[in-house]
Chains A and B, each alone.
Chain A
Amino acid sequence: MNSNKPTAYNNRLGVKGWVYAGRYTFERYLYLGHRLSGLGLIAYMVLHIVETANRMRGEEAWAALMTLFASPLFRVIEYLLFAAAVFHAMNGVRLLLTELGFFLGKPREPVYPYSSSIKRHRPLTYIIMALAGLIIILGGSSLFFP
């Protein structure tokens, strides 16, 4: 490693680069949540495919597995999975809208006081996150208090 290289120009932040940001705005936390939920979902999906293959071992093996999944601990895990999927999907829709250029406002001259496209987009961000929160609460109430 070249130790004379100024760290400001060194883009090899390694694992730190996954979370490090100079400014932690609301969107930065959403980015972290999106990444964590995405990783959680793909890890779960791989395990889920392996676990549901258990049906090929017959009805009893399947029933035993389903009894395990009906336990309170697995119910909570299942709810966390649901919450992660809802958050990831709703934030994903926000990202898609942003990447396709929607709701960012018209390009403007950069005249002080600056108004960034992120700020113009923020009301929509709050609405989408409030909706995600509502779906997560409703989903929890019908899972735990059927």
Chain B
Amino acid sequence: MRETRLWSVHLLVIPIIVVLLGAHFAVMHYAPVFYGVSIEEARNFETMIERGRSVAQLVLYILLLAAALYHGLYGLRGILRELTLTPGLGKIVDTSIILLGLFIFALGAYVTWWTFSFKIGG
């Protein structure tokens, strides 16, 4: 049951990733096509801070961070677990992946918050 639930979440977060990752690519990698802005401009410090001050961006970025990290790390766990590990090794893999996920989530969320609350000019 627990495994079914974990796997279901792996699939359920996919629509969130498709929409938000698509938007992220459009803004950061294809700005000239979708917004008529050069890539340099889209990635400029000030533009980034300006964009990051929106509450929608704060919430959506943290949502994308959580969804993509969960989906990707659960996938990695599955690949490692296919090695038919001993229960002890399986626990080590699970714990390491959870710790990595929590660390990257905390860092990403903190940086997003930092951008959101950045005060231009000091």
Contact = CB atoms under 8 A, between A and B. Distances in A.
Interface in A38-77: 38-39, 41-42, 45-46, 49-50, 52-53, 55-56, 59, 62-63, 66, 69-70
Given A12-B84, A14-B83, A45 B39 contact: no
Residue with the highest number of chain B CB atoms closer than 10 Å, among A11, A18, A52, A139 = A52
B32 interface: yes
Interface string B21-34: 10001000110110
Interface of B: 11, 14, 18, 21, 25, 29-30, 32-33, 39-40, 43-46, 48, 65, 68-69, 72-73, 75-76, 79, 82-84, 100, 104, 107-108, 111, 114-115
Interface of A: 11-12, 14-15, 17-18, 35, 38-39, 41-42, 45-46, 49-50, 52-53, 55-56, 59, 62-63, 66, 69-70, 78, 82, 85, 89, 92, 96, 99, 139, 142-143, 146
